[in-house]
Chains A and B, each alone.
Chain A
Amino acid sequence: GQPILYSYFRSSCSWRVRIALALKGIDYETVPINLIKDGGQQFSKDFQALNPMKQVPALKIDGITIHQSLAIIEYLEETRPTPRLLPQDPKKRASVRMISDLIAGGIQPLQNLSVLKQVEEELQLTWAQNAIISGFNALEQILQSTAGTYCVGDEVSCPQVFLYYRFKVDCTPYPTISSINKRLLVLEAFQVTHPCRQPDTPTELRA
């Protein structure tokens, strides 16, 4: 059967996987998991059995269920190798993984919903901003040596999603991040998978 993606429209981790599926031309079914409704549908018994970390995304494909967005993307790359999401050269692959891990491990986990909920409400915005600013300061520097048209060279690799606008982070100090992001956002795979165009996008946020 078709792959099934458990996704939340606004989740940046889900968006990464949606982009990878779109870039590779893989059709899939979306099962929306609302992280806020009903106390958070990710905490349901059914979803917990699917992903014990109680997070989106999770992908059912080829008879298995994978979670952790980068593990999903690497599996797609290994089983559906074209078009490539990772360059062939090991040193460039290292750059791609380094940048992906910086974002997926170094920024996003620190500003996701379950962590923010543990911070006092009036401090949450600053907390999220700090996580993003620290990471972007580093990323902007790294991109000086890796970037071409996109993050690593001139081919789109391991999709990067920048959610700075949600947390009102001033991106003037990050011209490279901003211009790469702008170039990526016009590509079809980034457009059709955008949070504003998902099956579970609330009406008021729809494109």
Chain B
Amino acid sequence: MKQVPALKIDGITIHQSLAIIEYLEETRPTPRLLPQDPKKRASVRMISDLIAGGIQPLQNLSVLKQVEEELQLTWAQNAIISGFNALEQILQSTAGTYCVGDEVTMADLCLVPQVANAERFKVDCTPYPTISSINKRLLVLEAFQVTHPCRQPDTPTELRA
């Protein structure tokens, strides 16, 4: 698909971020990234798919390149705003400390990068207090800090933390 990420692990290569994460969950089950209860798992997957399938693909580089340059920002913003309008509503019934209850799940892994994209595309997040406060709580966790775009091997100097 000529996209990142791809993970080489256990002698295979997997792509599609959620397929990778589900494989990690099944082969390295602790700590959990999905709750045990099937209904809560459905909520986690629903939120993850909403972001990974419903928002991100519409505002990624290869799609934006097909849109006229002066319309690209609005296009990306619309994709994010439609998705965030829905997500803010869904989180009213699923969220605790994090997206689904009080443990970090796959849904939270999808949320933080998407909020970062929203900021990149100058989307006003005031209408999304739940998304914003969950994002804030996640960003202080070590796993979200060490993996941040500003601390990667390939982060350009001018963008380094």
The A contact surface, by secondary structure, is helix
Determine whether the beta carbon of B26 is less than 8 Å from that of A97: no
Residue of B nearest to A131 (CB): B63
Determine whether the beta carbon of A109 is less than 8 Å from that of B53: yes
**Which residue of the partner chain, among B18, B46, B58, B66, contacts A101 with CB atoms under 8 Å?**
B18
Determine whether the beta carbon of B22 is less than 8 Å from that of A93: yes
Determine whether the beta carbon of A101 is less than 8 Å from that of B16: yes
Determine whether the beta carbon of B46 is less than 8 Å from that of A68: yes
Contact residues, B14-50 vs A (CB, 8 A): 14-16, 18-20, 22-23, 26-27, 38-39, 41-42, 45-46, 48-50
- Which of the segments B82-90, B130-138, B144-152, B153-161 contacts the partner chain? B82-90
A102 CA / B53 CA spacing, docked (Å): 9
Q: Could you count the A-B residue pairs with CB atoms below 8 Å apart for me: how many are there? A: 108
Determine whether the beta carbon of A98 is less than 8 Å from that of B19: yes
Determine whether the beta carbon of A101 is less than 8 Å from that of B19: yes
A82 CA / B75 CA spacing, docked (Å): 43
Determine whether the beta carbon of A91 is less than 8 Å from that of B41: no
Determine whether the beta carbon of A64 is less than 8 Å from that of B45: no
Interface centre among A55, A78, A109, A135 (most CB of B within 10 A): A109
A71-B63 contact in complex given A101-B18, A105-B57, C-beta closer than 8 Å: no
**Number of interface residues, chain B, beta carbon within 8 A:** 41
A79 CA / B82 CA spacing, docked (Å): 31
Determine whether the beta carbon of A93 is less than 8 Å from that of B26: yes
* In the assembled complex, A169 has its CB within 8 A of some CB on chain B: no
Contact residues, B38-84 vs A (CB, 8 A): 38-39, 41-42, 45-46, 48-50, 52-54, 57-58, 62-63, 66, 75, 78, 82-83
* In the assembled complex, A132 has its CB within 8 A of some CB on chain B: no
A138-B1 contact in complex given A75-B38, A75-B41, C-beta closer than 8 Å: yes
* In the assembled complex, A47 has its CB within 8 A of some CB on chain B: no
Residue of A nearest to B91 (CB): A52
Residues of B within 8 A of A114 (CB): 82
Interface centre among B15, B49, B63, B87 (most CB of A within 10 A): B49
A64 CA / B82 CA spacing, docked (Å): 23
Determine whether the beta carbon of A68 is less than 8 Å from that of B49: yes
Least CB distance from A61 to B in Å reads 9
Residues of B within 8 A of A68 (CB): 45-46, 49-50, 53-54
Least CB distance from A156 to B in Å reads 18
Determine whether the beta carbon of A52 is less than 8 Å from that of B63: no
Determine whether the beta carbon of B66 is less than 8 Å from that of A127: yes
* In the assembled complex, B8 has its CB within 8 A of some CB on chain A: no
Q: Which residues of A contact B (CB under 8 A)?
A: 51-55, 62, 64, 66-68, 70-72, 74-75, 78-79, 90-91, 93-94, 97-98, 100-102, 104-106, 108-110, 114-115, 118, 127, 130, 134-135, 138
Shortest Cβ-Cβ A-B pairs, 7 listed = A71-B45, A52-B86, A97-B19, A105-B53, A68-B49, A101-B16, A52-B89
Q: Could you write out 20 A-B pairs with CB less than 8 Å apart? A: A51-B86, A52-B87, A52-B89, A53-B82, A54-B86, A66-B42, A66-B46, A68-B53, A70-B49, A71-B42, A71-B48, A71-B49, A74-B41, A74-B42, A75-B41, A75-B42, A75-B45, A101-B18, A106-B1, A109-B57
Other than A53-B86, A64-B39, A94-B12, give 5 A-B pairs with Cβ distance below 8 A.
Answer: A98-B14, A104-B49, A109-B58, A110-B57, A130-B66
